[in-house]
Amino acid sequence: GIDVNIIKRFKIILEAISSGHSINVEKFEEYTTDTAKLYVQLYGWHPMSPTLHKILIHGATVISHAIVPIGQLSEEAAEARNKHFRLYRQNFSRKCSREACNN
């Protein structure tokens, strides 16, 4: 089966990335490096996915160069506004042509 410890480590990494708070880059890099080593030790027969590689190996570099915390760059806020945009299009948009409205 899958090692429970590595699942917990992935959970903590994803929570840190999506938190929206500033992250201690040194601790994050140490934690992700240890997680990558654990992954290779446990699952060396299965190649690491490109996404997992980017997060575990290059994540600290991306975080250190980011202007705002990584979690604040998510699309959750924009997706939450979709219901408002739909409401505005349905209820506050012009229902006839401009020429008909001006006559």
Mean model confidence pLDDT for the chain? 85
15 in any annotated domain: yes
Tokens of 66: 């980011």
3-state helix, strand, coil in the chain (%, to 5): 70, 0, 30
Instruction: Examine residue 56 and state whether it is found in any structural domain, yes or no.
Output: yes
Per cent of the chain over pLDDT 90 is: 50
**What does the buried/exposed string (b/e) look like for 80-97 if buried means 16 or more CB atoms within 10 Å of the residue's CB?**
eeeeeeeeeeeeeeeeee
User: Mean pLDDT across the stretch 69-79?
Assistant: 67
**pLDDT (0 to 100) of residue 86:** 81
Residue 47 has pLDDT above 80, yes or no: yes
For residue 71, what pLDDT band results from cuts at 50, 70 and 90? low
pLDDT tens digit sequence for 51-69: 999 999 999 998 888 777 6
Name the residue range of residue 11's domain. Answer: 4-74
Number of domains in the chain: 1
- Indicate whether 50 belongs to any domain: yes
CB atoms within 10 A of CB 59: 22
